Amino acid sequence: MKKKEGSNLKLIVDPNEAVTLEIIKSIKLVDKVSYSLNGGDTPGDLPKSQPCTFGIDATSDLAVTVFFAENDGASFTIQVKGSNGGDVATFSDTQATDEAFQTVGYTLFLGA
């Protein structure tokens, strides 16, 4: 996996490469993370402690939604790795006051 144009949210994935996302830091998050590939129901909801691994067969959009347990003070870091090695992408954010959830959008480009 490689970062496209240095972005942690635009990633180039090799054909047949598995992508793994993991919440590596969380403060005041509920124990559910929702993953939606191309607007669908999969990979679905998982406990935040469980990494999410999947493959793609075409350029895809992935939405990762974390849910905050309180009205402020929450933060998180997501780490993305490819099974073939290469770059490791991380994205961190903090909760805005009264924000209930945060959705992070990734674009996964199928490379050669």
Encode pLDDT of 51-102 as tens digits. 999 988 899 999 999 999 999 999 999 999 999 999 999 999 999 999 999 9
Q: 108 to each of 62, 70, 100, how far by Cα in Å?
A: 7, 31, 26
What integer pLDDT is reported at residue 112 of this predicted model?
A: 55
Distance CA 55, CA 34 (A): 17
**pLDDT at residue 41 is higher than 90:** no
> CA separation (Å) from 66 to 74, 75, 97, 111?
10, 10, 15, 28
What's residue 16's pLDDT? Answer: 87
**Which pTM was predicted?**
0.94
> Mean pLDDT, to the nearest integer, of 1-6?
96
